[in-house]
């Protein structure tokens, strides 16, 4: 808590787009001191995780040291810790190692975790893509199956080069496009003795289109690009079980595979259940239009961690631009509160939906009227919005040049197989059938 008359103390949990946006605004103000707590000592840029997973970018390219970011802001105290519980009444948070931090304001921005919807085996055997750690594990596993198949081509019959991506939303679609491109361009030229053409990428979704939230034209465009690159799209189909060596689909198909990538859905980070606060859809904290929690003035929930009311009804989507704007807005709201200035509810400035399906294929639906762009123009819009998300974290121009270079060149970045824990495969386990796919 603050000393009487001293700066007010703001405790922020999570340094994603939302928590970091809030901390960076408050860092500039003398009337507050901030404790920013995260279980990692870096901010990670989730929209580019799939590029790390497919060796297009290095992990360092999408992670930024929090210490570096705040080195000139003595009013921001960073704590590397995992918060395990919250008392919203006392405005305290408790960490795994037992420290307790009390604030005048609590800002909860712990983000999401994958939602496996209780699919048997999914949590144990699939590879989610939500954190830098996930992306590095996935990269190693992709490289390992190619190495193993190169050493023993018979493993291809055991599904070594079958990749199953669960979920046809932006995460699954971007991953499918990038993986197909990696196989077709890089792997085909680097593995001289391996029949890389035997590789299969499956994209499975229980809905009836890929990129569900986009328009019908966008569904068709995305499906066309993915099919052109060899992705097999299985719509109206869900994954019933994930085993170490295969997946079972709802239509009875069994696909032999040692790499299932989970982009099937998200829910609030586990901390949400330890807050004593009302949880709505996806376990997210229900907030009022000013992002505070009913009955707990001074306690805010932001970004992916919250169900934020949308003016049209329902909740705002889990997007970087929503999270960043809630962070900025909350900082301003706290400053108004301190000065007893009247304020307005949070208003989201819609930046639209975007997805990159491959180097030459992007889709963007811009603004509230969803003006639709495809191809290079959409790619330019994608760059613009992602540079906006990087504001303050990295130099905008630097980011533009790097990404544009990467887009127009055919280069691939790091291909070190450095996570042997995730890479190692027991080919005897659940891989004993000779049939690659049975219906």
Ligand X SMILES: Cc1cc2nc3c(=O)[nH]c(=O)nc-3n(C[C@H](O)[C@H](O)[C@H](O)COP(=O)(O)OP(=O)(O)OC[C@H]3O[C@@H](n4cnc5c(N)ncnc54)[C@H](O)[C@@H]3O)c2cc1C
Nearest CA to 245 out of 306, 354, 162 is that of 162
Sheet bearing 246-249, strands edge to edge: 239-242, 246-249, 254-256, 437-438
- For residue 42, CA distances in Å to 65, 67, 80, 289 come to 4, 8, 9, 30
Q: Which residues pair with 296 in a beta bridge?
A: 293
- Taking CB under 6 A as the binding criterion, the range among 31-39, 140-148, 209-217, 251-259 that sits at the site for ligand X is 31-39
- Taking CB under 6 A as the binding criterion, the range among 41-49, 67-75, 401-409, 423-431 that sits at the site for ligand X is 41-49
22 binds ligand X (CB under 6 A): no
Closest approach, Cβ 183 to ligand X, in A, equals 19
Torsion (CA) 109, 9, 102, 35 in degrees, nearest 10: 50
- For residue 433, CA distances in Å to 154, 245, 428 come to 12, 10, 10
SS3 405: helix
Among 112, 126, 186, 325, binds ligand X (CB under 6 A): 112
Among 17, 70, 202, 403, binds ligand X (CB under 6 A): 17
- CA diameter of the chain: 74
83 binds ligand X (CB under 6 A): yes
- Taking CB under 6 A as the binding criterion, the range among 12-20, 100-108, 116-124, 405-413 that sits at the site for ligand X is 12-20
Closest approach, Cβ 287 to ligand X, in A, equals 12
Catalytic residue among 174, 181, 365, 436: 174
78 binds ligand X (CB under 6 A): no
259 binds ligand X (CB under 6 A): no
Distance CA 261, CA 54 (A): 12
Closest approach, Cβ 327 to ligand X, in A, equals 7
Among 77, 82, 337, 437, binds ligand X (CB under 6 A): 82
- Taking CB under 6 A as the binding criterion, the range among 43-51, 147-155, 218-226, 424-432 that sits at the site for ligand X is 43-51
Q: Number of residues in contact with ligand X, rule: CB under 6 A?
A: 36
Nearer to ligand X, 32 or 37 (CB): 37
SS3 271: helix
Nearest CA to 211 out of 192, 238, 235 is that of 235
Nearer to ligand X, 36 or 196 (CB): 36
Q: Would residue 349 be called left, alpha or beta, if left means φ above 0 and alpha means ψ between -120 and 50 degrees? A: beta
Q: Which residues pair with 309 in a beta bridge?
A: 315
DSSP state of 135: H
User: Measured between alpha carbons, how far apart are the two ends of the chain, in Å?
Assistant: 63
222 binds ligand X (CB under 6 A): no
Name which of residues 359 to 418 contact ligand X (CB under 6 A). Answer: none
Name which of residues 149 to 208 contact ligand X (CB under 6 A). Answer: 170-171
216 is catalytic: no
Nearer to ligand X, 120 or 384 (CB): 384
- What contacts 90, CB < 8 A, 6 or more positions away? 102
Among 323, 335, 357, 373, binds ligand X (CB under 6 A): 323
* Residue 175: how many other CB atoms lie within 10 Å: 26
Nearest CA to 11 out of 71, 68, 78 is that of 78
Nearer to ligand X, 307 or 318 (CB): 318
245 binds ligand X (CB under 6 A): no
β strands within 28-176, DSSP E: 32-38, 42-44, 63-65, 76-80, 83-87, 92-95, 100-102, 105-108, 112-114, 127-128, 162-166
Nearer to ligand X, 27 or 354 (CB): 354
Distance CA 237, CA 239 (A): 7
Among 9, 11, 12, 15, binds ligand X (CB under 6 A): 15
Among 320, 352, 358, 431, binds ligand X (CB under 6 A): 320
Closest approach, Cβ 318 to ligand X, in A, equals 4
List of residues contacting ligand X (CB under 6 A)? 13-19, 37-40, 46-47, 49-50, 82-83, 109-112, 129-130, 170-171, 269, 271, 303-305, 318-321, 323, 354
Catalytic (active-site) positions: 174
């Amino acid at each position: 808590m603050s000393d009487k008359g001293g700066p007010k103390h703001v405790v922020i949990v999570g340094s994603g787009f939302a928590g970091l946006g809030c901390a960076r605004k408050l860092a500039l103000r003398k009337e507050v001191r901030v404790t920013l707590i995260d279980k990692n000592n870096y901010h990670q840029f989730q929209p580019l995780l799939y590029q790390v997973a497919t060796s297009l970018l290095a992990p360092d390219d999408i992670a930024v040291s929090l210490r570096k970011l705040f080195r000139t802001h003595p009013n921001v105290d960073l704590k590397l810790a995992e918060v395990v519980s919250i008392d919203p009444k006392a405005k305290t948070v408790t960490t795994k190692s037992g420290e307790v931090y009390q604030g005048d304001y609590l800002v909860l921005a712990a983000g999401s975790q994958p939602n496996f919807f209780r699919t048997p085996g999914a949590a144990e055997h699939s590879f989610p893509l939500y954190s830098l750690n996930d992306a590095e594990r996935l990269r190693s596993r992709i490289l390992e199956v190619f190495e193993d198949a190169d050493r023993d081509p018979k493993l291809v019959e055991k599904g070594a080069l079958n990749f199953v991506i669960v979920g046809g939303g932006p995460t699954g679609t971007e991953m499918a496009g990038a993986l197909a491109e990696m196989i077709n361009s890089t792997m085909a030229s680097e593995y001289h003795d391996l029949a890389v053409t035997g590789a299969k990428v499956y994209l499975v979704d229980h809905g009836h289109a890929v990129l569900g939230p986009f328009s019908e034209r966008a569904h068709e465009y995305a499906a066309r690009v993915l099919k052109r690159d060899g992705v097999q799209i299985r719509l109206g189909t869900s994954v019933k079980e994930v085993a170490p060596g295969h997946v079972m689909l709802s239509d009875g198909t069994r696909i032999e595979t040692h790499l299932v990538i989970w982009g099937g859905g998200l829910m609030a980070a586990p901390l949400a259940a330890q807050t004593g606060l009302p949880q709505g859809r996806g376990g997210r904290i229900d907030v009022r239009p000013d992002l505070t929690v009913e009955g707990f003035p001074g306690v805010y929930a932001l970004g992916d961690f919250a169900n934020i009311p949308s003016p049209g009804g329902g909740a705002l989507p889990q997007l970087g631009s929503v999270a960043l704007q809630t962070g900025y807005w909350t900082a301003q709201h706290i400053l108004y509160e301190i000065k007893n200035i009247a304020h307005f509810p949070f208003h989201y400035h819609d930046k639209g939906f975007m997805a990159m399906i491959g180097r030459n294929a992007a889709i963007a639906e811009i603004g509230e009227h969803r003006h639709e762009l495809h191809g290079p123009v959409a790619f330019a819009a994608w760059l613009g919005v992602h540079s906006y998300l990087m504001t303050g974290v990295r130099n905008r121009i630097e980011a533009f040049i790097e990404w544009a270079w990467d887009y127009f060149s055919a280069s691939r970045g790091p291909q070190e197989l450095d996570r042997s824990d995730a890479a190692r495969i027991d080919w005897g386990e659940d891989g004993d059938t000779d049939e690659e796919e049975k219906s």
